[in-house]
């Protein structure tokens, strides 16, 4: 819809013919309204950009946390395997692969 169409709609809706509101004032109001809409749109675009950046940062943080969780899980699984190996060695009467620091032969 162009300015003339908007003017006609405004005149009919607001009954501007009785008040004899000049076209110039309507045009100034429409320009101001257009500027405010452009500013609002620009602010909305800035907010969307900020939200996208936040989502990307959170996604990166989540990936880092996921990677750390996987590393810890692997480490726990390795520790469990190591403990099982030592327990089996103890049950079999063999060495655990560790030296007992209190009884290393110096005073015993």
Q: What's the total number of domains in the chain?
A: 1
Is 97 among the domain residues? no
Is 98 among the domain residues? no
Whether the model clears a pTM of 0.85, i.e. scores above it, the answer is: no
pLDDT digits (tens, 9 = 90+) for 10-62: 767 666 555 566 777 778 888 888 898 899 999 999 999 999 999 999 999 99
Handedness of CA 76, 82, 88, 93 (dihedral sign): negative
Residue 9: give the domain boundaries: 3-91
Is 104 among the domain residues? no
Is 87 among the domain residues? yes
Is 103 among the domain residues? no
Is 9 among the domain residues? yes
Is 34 among the domain residues? yes
Contacting residues for 107 by C-beta, under 8 A, at least 6 apart: none
């Amino acid at each position: 819809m162009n300015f003339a169409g908007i003017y006609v709609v405004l005149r009919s809706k607001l009954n501007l013919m009785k008040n004899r509101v000049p076209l110039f004032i309507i045009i100034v109001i429409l320009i101001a309204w257009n500027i405010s809409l452009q500013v609002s749109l620009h602010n909305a675009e800035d907010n969307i950009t900020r939200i996208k950046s936040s989502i990307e940062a959170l996604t990166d943080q989540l990936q880092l946390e996921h990677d750390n969780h996987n590393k810890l899980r692997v480490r726990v699984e390795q520790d469990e395997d190591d403990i099982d190996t030592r327990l089996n060695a103890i049950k079999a009467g063999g060495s655990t692969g560790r030296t007992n620091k209190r009884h290393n032969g110096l005073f015993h």
